[in-house]
Amino acid sequence: MKELIFATNNRHKIQEVSALLEGVVNIRSLEEMGLAGDIPETADTLQGNALQKATWVWERTGKPCFADDTGLEVDALDGAPGVYSARYAGEHCTFDDNVNKLLNALEGKTNRRADFRTVICLIENGEHRFFEGRVDGQILTERYGKEGFGYDPIFMPDRFAVSFAEMPLDVKNRISHRGRAVAKLVEYLKK
């Protein structure tokens, strides 16, 4: 079975994506590959960051790899935090810091529409391809659920009455932005 290096140190992402790619490819983590340190994310688009991260791994290993970048885009905040979602509350912030800042920014706002977008960049033989997934929903006024990570406790996807953090992983993976992007990657890898 083909192996792909996943350009992330985020164990939650590795768990989610590994479940989606089971039986299709073997995922190798950066840690398994002996790659340490922070991968640069200095682009101003999700696509740019995904390419930057995948290129970082490709240049160090020469092996097939992929990276993703995800952004939460909130209508009332003109698309923020967007590409800065992971560090919305500052460079070394926690998930809770980001959620708190977002909830404070939306206090008193009635428009709570938002979307999550994920862009994956796959590099094989030095060539790259992109796969994108998106899910629409709204930002809740408080946290619900203990599963997932990041903004999951305050994001409720359309046609559901629970947050991502209240869903079993298999349900979330079927409908989430990352799940949809990975499904496109799987479709490509199976060809």
Q: Are 177 and 16 in contact (CB under 8 A)?
A: no
Residue tagged active-site, from 38, 68, 69, 97: 69
Helix (H, G, I), strand (E, B), or coil: what is residue 78?
coil
Q: Tell me which residue of 78, 93, 79, 100 sits closest to 151, measured CA to CA.
A: 100
The count of residues in the chain is 191
152 noted as active-site residue: no
Dist CA 18 CA 3 (whole Å): 12
Q: Residue 116 pairs with which residues in a beta bridge?
A: 72, 135
Q: How many CA atoms lie within 13 A of 94 on its CB side?
A: 3
Residue 73 tokens, joined: 């885009």
As a whole number of angstroms, the distance between CA 26 and CA 171 comes to 22
Q: Are 61 and 33 in contact (CB under 8 A)?
A: yes
What does the alpha-carbon distance between residue 119 and residue 133 come to, in Å, rounded to a whole number? 7
Active site amino acids:
69
